[in-house]
Amino acid sequence: MSVQEYLNKHMLSRKIEDAVNAAVRAKSPDPVLFISNHMRKAVPSVITKIKARQILDSRGIPTVEVDLFTHKGMFRASVPSGDPSGMYEALELRDGDKGTYLGNSVNRAIKNINERISEALVGMDPILQSQIDQAMIDLDKTEKKGELGANAILAVSIAACKAGAVEKEVPLYKHIADLAGKTNLTLPVPAFTVISGGKHAGNNLAIQDIMILPIGASSFGEALQMGSETYHHLKAVIAEKYGAHGCNVGEDGGLAPNISSIREGLDLVKEAINRTGYNEKIKMAIDVAATDFCKGTKYDLDFKSPNKSGQNFKSGEDMIEMYKELCADYPIVSIEDPFDKEDWEHTKSVLQICQQVVGDDLLMSNPKRIERAIHDSTCNALLLKINQIGTVTEAIEVVKLANDVPWGVVISHRSGETEDSFIADLSVGLASGQIKAGAPCRGERLAKYNQLLHIEEELGDHAIYAGEDYRQCL
């Protein structure tokens, strides 16, 4: 017997003896169950097995799902996916075989988890999130996680985070708060997508989303009610004006009537809000996603209309004037990606127009680009997409960067989502103040909103809804 084996044996014997003595002292009616529970708490759990598989996301495209096992049970996580935005984000690993799922299958990422990542992590304590994430980063050895795949690494990172919470016997959001050094658990203001356009819908609307923010609600539950009621009133408004076919939805669940102008969409939403009677309690936001229709130094607002494309080009100055007029005429409090991802100067100008300017394609959750934007005062809010960075630990670190400025933080879903509700707990644990999880319809979107209802109920009298402080929940 080796020294380590001898120590392990005698430490276990000591823990069994302690458990028996505790059962005697407690005069337990079921000493076997008491001893079992006592031992479970006494013996630290470790990762015993990791198994991955390929599943489909909300668009019917393959993604990665992981089951991570410890002595406390099995913990499942799946990762979202979006349209790759460029060279600055962590890389998804896909197989590229056009004969299988049109090249989108993720069998190489699955193999990396089942073989290389599993071998590296089995035996580690799931509480040690940063060590687990660093072990995978070190194993990958590339800047953008291209060897193992950010989709492989993130799935394991999230599963480990869930296991760590159970090991500590705390809710997932509380474990995340502990990892981030946060004490103020906060329910976020939801940015509900109500009209979809851009690449996410088949209409002629150039911008990607028109959203509503129920900042005047007194609780998250009331905010969800406001969002749902507005959404259904909007369906009625659209059906009256365009017929039932106008109520088709985009990838994120937003309604997608065949409109081509931003004003037309905002007018529809404004009428829906009026019908709810909430009025001042609900603000608007737009995700322009301007990179998608930037042509050199011009912006083609008719890029989705073949007959008109090229006829409605706007310069950067034209776009700024348009944003000024929209913010004057509608209760818009947030604009996301108003210009191309490399158009830093024009983006900076929008800070004088709108309360919040959110960087998505501009930042790509990349620490270096975030630091540049902070230094240059380019925007004042971070859109965090965890699959763009690749681990829970790194997501926490970039949120700390944003908090230090301080910026607003929006935890975001992706166009390709799963039923995993992790970002709901992430938003509460990091006290982000804002979450963007799509429309108040479709199961993969509602999984996040319904989890926030669960969290609010669990927190009870301690539940705090960000409301009008949605930008300053630090």
Q: What is the tens place of the pLDDT at every residue in 127-142?
A: 999 999 999 999 999 9
| pLDDT at position 245 | 85
Is 360 labelled as part of a ligand binding site?
Answer: yes
**CB atoms < 10 A from the CB of 438, how many?**
31
Q: How confident is the model at residue 17 (pLDDT cuts 50, 70, 90)?
A: low
Q: What is the domain partition of the chain in residue ranges?
A: 3-42, 47-169, 180-469
First-residue to last-residue Cα distance in the chain: 53
pTM of the model: 0.89
235 phi, psi to nearest 5 deg? -60, -40
State mean pLDDT over 161-177: 98
Q: How many angstroms separate the CA atoms of 302 and 294, rounded?
A: 11
Model confidence at 342, in pLDDT bands (50, 70, 90)?
very high
Backbone dihedral angles phi then psi of residue 247, each to the nearest 5 degrees = -95, 15
Residue scoring higher pLDDT (416 or 11): 416
Q: Quote the pLDDT of residue 142.
A: 93
For residue 3, the model assigns a pLDDT of: 41
pLDDT tier at 220 (50, 70, 90 boundaries)?
very high
Per-residue pLDDT band for 58 (boundaries 50, 70, 90) equals very high
Catalytic option among 252, 292, 340, 420: 252
Q: What's the pLDDT score for residue 312?
A: 75
Give mean pLDDT, residues 45-60. Answer: 96
Average pLDDT over residues 235-258: 91
Residue for token pair 């009428």: 271
Residue-wise pLDDT for 440-466, tens only, equals: 999 999 999 999 999 999 999 999 999
In the predicted structure, residue 384 carries a pLDDT above the cut 50: yes
Report the range out of 225-234, 236-245, 311-320 with the highest average pLDDT: 225-234
Catalytic residue among 162, 304, 385, 448: 385
Q: What is the CATH number of domain 180-469?
A: 3.20.20.120
DSSP 199-220: GGSSSS--SSEEEEE-TT-SSH
Q: What is the pLDDT of residue 85?
A: 58
Separation of alpha carbons 362 and 383, rounded Å: 10
* Average pLDDT, integer, range 197-218: 92
Least confident of 97-106, 174-183, 239-248: 239-248
Tell me the percentage of the chain whose pLDDT exceeds 90.
78
pLDDT at 78: 97
Q: For this structure, is 252 an active site residue?
A: yes
Distance CA(266)–CA(286), nearest Å, equals 9
Strand 62-70: give its sheet, edge to edge: 47-56, 62-70, 73-78
Looking at every residue in the chain, the average pLDDT score rounds to 91
Q: Which residue has the higher pLDDT, 3 or 124?
A: 124
- For the domain 47-169, what is the CATH superfamily, name and number? Enolase-like, N-terminal domain (3.30.390.10)
376 in a known ligand binding site? no
Q: pLDDT band at residue 472, thresholds of 50, 70 and 90?
A: confident
pLDDT at 23: 62
pLDDT per position as a tens digit, 393-435: 999 999 999 999 999 999 999 989 999 999 999 999 999 999 9
Phi, psi of 316 (to 5 degrees): -60, -40
Q: How confident is the model at residue 7 (pLDDT cuts 50, 70, 90)?
A: very low
Q: Return d(Cα 442, Cα 413) in angstroms, integer.
A: 13
CA distance 374 to 376: 6
Lowest model confidence (mean pLDDT) among 3-7, 201-205, 304-308, 411-415: 3-7
The whole-number average pLDDT for the span 234-255 is: 91
> What pLDDT does 199 receive?
86
Q: Does 287 belong to an annotated binding site?
A: yes
Residue 385 catalytic?
yes
| For residue 367, cis peptide bond before it (omega within 30 degrees of 0) | no
Question: How does residue 246 score in pLDDT terms, banded at 50, 70 and 90?
Answer: confident
When pLDDT is averaged across residues 91-117 and rounded to a whole number, the result is 96
